[in-house]
Amino acid sequence: MKKSLLSLLVPVVVLFLLVSAPSFVVPVAAQDAAVSGTLSFLSWYTQDQYQPVLDAFLAQYPDVQIDYQNVPPANNQYVQRLQLLASSGELPDLFYSGPPITLMAENGYLADITDLEVVQALPEGYKQYYTYENRVYAYAPDAWVGGVFYNIALFRDNNIAVPTTWDEFIAACAAFSELGIKPITMSADSIPDLIYWLHNTEVLSQDPNFDVRINTGETTFSEGYLDALTTWKTQLVDTGYISQDTVGLTDDQRFTEFATGTAAMTISGPWAVNGIMEKNPDLELGLFPFVGSTPERAYTVGAVNVGIAISATAQNPAAAEAFINFLGSPEGLALYQQVTGNFIGADIEYEINPVMEPIRPLAENGQFAFPPVFWTYGNTLAPSLIRGTQEIILGTLTPEELVQQLDEQQAELAASGG
């Protein structure tokens, strides 16, 4: 499956469509409560995918019956069903939701699960995706994490070191350009991934909550993104390493350029591996994370998966809590990893595609981000950033003008409620 990182924003739309409700918080049931009865569960994973997890849970809790409902995420089907259930006051005991969690928590749809031991065991980088006013409202132990795919043979045969800092990345770009090899290929829609690279390593590595504060007006795109856009333009666009033809490239075209050796690098996630290898089974495929001004600032691309939330008005809160506790156990996490294929933010044994192994430490420690996930109005602002970076490449916009546009849009959306 080939998709851009922006397509992973789909879960965010859930939060924009839900209707308002009075704000309240209902704590989950105590752990010693009897666990029995029917547990309703709305999921966007099919029951066949999820059955090993369900079977293992029911083996521990035989007095529970699970009413498992699957609605696929494609074409907003899941979003629409969740919206309907929320607006009618009929949310199931358990359901999936995506970040940011702000509106769902404000509207009182979610039980506070902060104090569950399995929640506390997660890395901070995982918990922050589902935190509102210092409380956690959904459990997500897994994440997709990517980085910079590179052609191992091209680096090796040309004596070019795999970058461990941004400056080394730029030096590699210069070396490949002198050899007549395109340093890095990006599609028109994936251009901002280079901006996120610089933002992640130089801003989020030091202040992981920076983008959350854009939503409240405590900080701005100008403060957090102007330096990244300026560096990108000066060192990649003005040098010709990112050329105007990028604005016309599709994902399939850029992956073809990369797989065939026309380009030395590209940025994507784990879903791209099979497609790249299908184009060139002999490719020696490598991966390195987003690297910063120093090796310590490595902070790659990725996002925590959709999380499981407990309804604030759950009919069976004891069973719902028991399910999350089971999912966070070593047995549950191992089974869940087989469902999602993602990295797990816990110390358990599991297999991942060997190509992805170099970024396992960052993935498990929560050293990753895909910034639009944190923007309340990301479904509007992220496309604006795509268009703006394309215009900068074409010479019709400056970095200063783009961040001003984003700040103005953010202010207008916040004032109008989206």
Domains of the chain: 5-143+304-352 (3.40.190.10), 145-302+372-416 (3.40.190.10)
Q: 87 pLDDT exceeds 70?
A: yes
Instruction: Reduce the DSSP state of residue 414 to 3 states and report it.
Output: helix
Q: Give CA–CA dist 287/358, Å, rounded.
A: 7
Q: Give CA–CA dist 51/35, Å, rounded.
A: 20
Structure confidence by residue, pLDDT tens digits, 240-282: 999 999 999 999 999 999 999 999 999 999 989 999 999 999 9
Look at residue 294 in the predicted model and tell me its pLDDT.
96
Contact 416, 376 (CB under 8 A): no
Show the tokens assigned to 300. Answer: 């790659």
Cα–Cα distance list, 394 to 60, 233, 253, 389 (Å): 60, 11, 19, 9
Higher pLDDT, 68 or 73: 68
Determine the distance from the C-alpha atom of residue 104 to the mean position of all C-alpha atoms in its chain, rounded to a whole number: 18
Residues ≥6 apart with Cβ < 8 Å to 179: 158
Q: Give CA–CA dist 216/185, Å, rounded.
A: 35
Structure confidence by residue, pLDDT tens digits, 106-129: 889 999 999 999 999 999 889 988
Q: Which long-range contacts (CB under 8 A, 24 or more apart) does 381-389 make?
A: 381/406, 381/409, 381/410, 381/413, 382/6, 382/9, 382/192, 383/6, 384/409, 385/192, 385/195, 386/6, 386/188, 386/189, 386/191, 386/192, 389/191, 389/192, 389/195, 389/229, 389/232
Show the tokens assigned to 222. Answer: 């100008």
Contact 68, 54 (CB under 8 A): yes
Q: Give CA–CA dist 262/253, Å, rounded.
A: 11
Name the β-bridge partners of 265: 150, 184
Higher pLDDT, 20 or 70: 70
Q: Which burial class, exposed, middle or buried, applies to 148 when counting CB atoms under 10 A from its CB (0-12, 13-18, 19+)?
A: buried
Q: Give CA–CA dist 192/24, Å, rounded.
A: 38
Q: 356 pLDDT exceeds 50?
A: yes
Q: How confident is the model at residue 83 (pLDDT cuts 50, 70, 90)?
A: confident
Q: Give CA–CA dist 115/228, Å, rounded.
A: 37
Checking phi first, is residue 346 left (phi over 0); if not, alpha (psi -120 to 50) or beta?
A: beta
Q: Give CA–CA dist 223/407, Å, rounded.
A: 10
Q: Give CA–CA dist 348/358, Å, rounded.
A: 17
Q: Give CA–CA dist 12/78, Å, rounded.
A: 12
* pTM score of the predicted model: 0.82
Look at residue 197 in the predicted model and tell me its pLDDT.
98
Strands 300-304 and 263-268: unpaired
Look at residue 125 in the predicted model and tell me its pLDDT.
83
Contact 142, 339 (CB under 8 A): no
Residue 159 main-chain phi, psi, to 5 deg: 60, 40
Residues ≥6 apart with Cβ < 8 Å to 348: 330, 333, 334, 337
Q: How confident is the model at residue 399 (pLDDT cuts 50, 70, 90)?
A: very high
Contact 299, 363 (CB under 8 A): no
Residues ≥6 apart with Cβ < 8 Å to 115: none
Range of weakest confidence among 40-54, 70-84, 188-202, 324-338: 70-84
> Mean pLDDT in the chain?
90
DSSP state of 190: G
The kind and range of the H/E element at 343 are strand 343-344
Structure confidence by residue, pLDDT tens digits, 182-208: 999 999 999 999 999 999 999 999 999
Q: Give CA–CA dist 399/389, Å, rounded.
A: 8
Q: How confident is the model at residue 5 (pLDDT cuts 50, 70, 90)?
A: low
Amino acid at 418: G
